[in-house]
Amino acid sequence: MTDRDRIAARAEIVFVVQATTVSQLRAAFPSADDELASAGLQQCRRSSMRSGRHDVLSAPEPTCVQTVAALGWPPPRVVSDLRGAEPGEWQGRELASLSPDQFQHWRAGVAPPGGESVADLLLRVRNFVHGVGGGRYVAVVPQAVARVTVLVALGLPASKIWEMDADPLSTVAVARRAGGETRLRLVNL
């Protein structure tokens, strides 16, 4: 499939926010050994979400893959472009441990030392949405990815990421129409 064919193909991607993680309960940046909290497993058990006829994708974080399994969905295709923003040296660090200046700079879009900025994450997710082949997908992703998906669909700047919340197991969908136009869709699974 050529780039032109890929853009011309219609696609729908339903982004599902991963279930609650241990790092989220600690109000910390994700760590390499992060896992679903017991509350996250409970959320999945109580959920009535079904993957339906969508191809199942997952960000590479273990918590996203664990969410797919806990929902009882088929094993996902792991897509590295769906990973959350790289926290760099702040991996596993609690937000409360940041100085006021560090926190303000991070919220203003500056990447953590050795990490990735929201603008970089936005560009990566935009490239994924515009480059994925035609079809229907459901993708379990970290909160930040779901939030920037809204920005991608609406053409908003990275600075708007803090103006929305993304609860565990919430969904947001992007429909890419023939010709590459994207539309935000609110859906149930």
**Beta pairing class for 55-58 and 135-141:** parallel
Q: What pLDDT does 62 receive?
A: 97
* 184 bridge partner residues: 174
SS (H, E, C) 80-103: HHHCCCCCHHHCCCEHHHCCHHHH
- What is the pLDDT tens value at each position of the chain, 189 positions in all? 555 555 568 999 999 999 999 999 999 999 989 999 999 999 999 999 999 889 999 999 999 999 999 999 999 999 999 999 999 999 999 999 999 999 999 999 999 999 999 999 999 999 999 999 999 999 999 999 999 999 999 999 999 999 999 999 999 999 998 888 899 988 887
Residue 105: both structure tokens together: 């700079």
Which residues are CB-contacts of 75 (< 8 A; sequence separation ≥ 6)?
A: 56, 68, 69
Residue range 134-164, pLDDT digits in tens: 999 999 999 999 999 999 999 999 999 999 9
Q: What pLDDT does 2 receive?
A: 59
Q: What pLDDT does 180 receive?
A: 81
Terminal Cα-to-Cα distance of the chain (whole angstroms): 29
Give residue for tokens 């991963």: 18
Q: What pLDDT does 179 receive?
A: 80
Q: What pLDDT does 8 receive?
A: 60
Instruction: Please give the model's pTM, rounded to 2 decimal places.
Output: 0.93
Q: What are the C-alpha distances in Å from 53 to residues 24, 73, 74, 176?
A: 30, 11, 11, 17
